[in-house]
Amino acid sequence: MNSIYVDYTDNIWKFFRNDNRELCYKIMYEEGKWTKENLINNEVLGFAVYVEGDERIHIVYSNIKGELKYCTMKDKHWVGKTLYQMDFDEFQIEHLKIEIIGEEMHIFFLLISNDGSDHGVLMHCAWNGKETKFFSLQDIILLPNLKEYYLVNTNEQSGLEVFFITDEGDEVSLNYCNFENRKWSSAKRLYGIQGEDISFEVLRDQQQDVHILNKSREDLLYFIDHVCIDISGNIQVYRVRESNMKLIDPILFIGNNKLCACWIEENKIFYSFFNNEQWENPIYFDKSNEFKVMRYHCFMYYNRDNSVKLLEAYGTDEPDLNLYIPNRFTMNNSLKHETNQINNEISFNENQEIQNLKLELSKVKLEKKNLDRKIDSLNMQLQKKQRFMDDYEERIAIILEQKRKTDENYNVFIELQQNLQKEFDDTKKQLDDAKDQLLKEKDIRISIEKKLLELENENLIIRQKVMTINEEKNKLYEDLEFERNQSIMERLLRKKPSGI
């Protein structure tokens, strides 16, 4: 990301890394007039700039030696120190960002593996000017050619929150974690993003709702989508722009108390307002020249309150670096707004028939791709259901075999019970016929009655088991019937699209 700073005299400081890995800066002091390049350090891999309200410039950068270094300007000279030294044979430090809260600087960076894999670790370094403390936030699977893997945001309570993306194979997931009480929360997955050429922007409004602007490409179609996540976690998705032209460098901000998005399309700047229900038609911003525009990470000094504010802006390249601040060029009156809409409609109607044909072709390809994904998903579900059915049938066969054995045991028990009953009757008759021997045979009768009681208890238990087994058998038959019906319905649903 190009970093610039507009100081209190409207000089523009530009910080950059040249092709020789040299971290440099130069200053545009008049329109089209620049100082020579000034070297800060060499062998630099990545850097980040932060400017405080007193116009103190902070720079954090990494080099090929595995060092994380800090520098600032004092008496027109750069002075600094090494914050961190690592084994540069295994990892290198890239994608740096800075946030300053109070007296503490928070430095974020990615440790990227040097073994050629797509593995990276998101790190956080808290530095109070004397001591540093490091936190390992999350392992990330990196996507190739991505500008931003994560974004850092500060909330109203001066807390830090990080949004980051990681490759999950079939899609890219956007995740979130926050820093409170000197601890990072566990990462929470927000949603998945399909496609390629992915980027995202994050903004939290006064109601603490999170607004995310997603840019992606699928086949020949480019998309910009707005995802709103309220404080209850409810997610709503709105389409901002869909085009067969490449959409680059989107910016999300609040202007005139409205949520606004802007982007570059065919080297032209467009913007749109969100009316709380949908995004309005894109409006073309006439920058009055054909110079190439790009996005800048801009620190700007405001004389009215002696403060420095960070904002995202568009600008041309050298020598005449013209800046276009989104919340300024969108603050138009209604007449200009309508004029821009007319100009925008004229611009978009050029070659409309050809563009519509391309869009339709891309939509058909995209629908086919989504249908293929759906069919693959249904096939996977069918395979899972089939495995469940096979398991159920195996379990039913086992239970039926157990029931058969139980039924045989039950018949033996009935025969035994009948024999015992006959034995009891005979014994009772003998007792009636031999009352005079009652005292002698008392012990025998007590023993027989006890044995009968035990058998009756066993009889009751076996009956209960038989009832339980019958209930399980009926339940399994019902489950099997339900699964078979479900499988038939899924096959019918899966076959239906081919017949349309």
Buried b / exposed e along 265-303 (16+ C-beta atoms within 10 A): beebbbbbbbeeeebbebbbbebeeeeebebbbbbbbee
Q: What's this model's pTM, rounded to 2 decimal places?
A: 0.68
Residue 44: per-residue pLDDT: 95
Residues in contact with 143: Cβ distance below 8 Å, sequence separation at least 6, in sequence order = 118, 149, 165, 167, 172, 198
Structural domains of the chain ordered from first start = 2-350 (2.130.10.10), 362-499 (1.10.287)
Buried b / exposed e along 423-438 (16+ C-beta atoms within 10 A): eeeeeeeebeeeeeee
Block mean pLDDT (10 aa), the chain, length 500: 88 94 93 92 95 91 94 90 84 93 94 86 94 93 90 84 92 93 93 92 90 93 94 92 94 91 95 93 89 93 85 90 88 46 46 60 67 71 73 80 74 76 76 68 74 83 86 83 77 57
Residue 494: per-residue pLDDT: 66
Kindly state the tokens that stand for 448.
């027989």
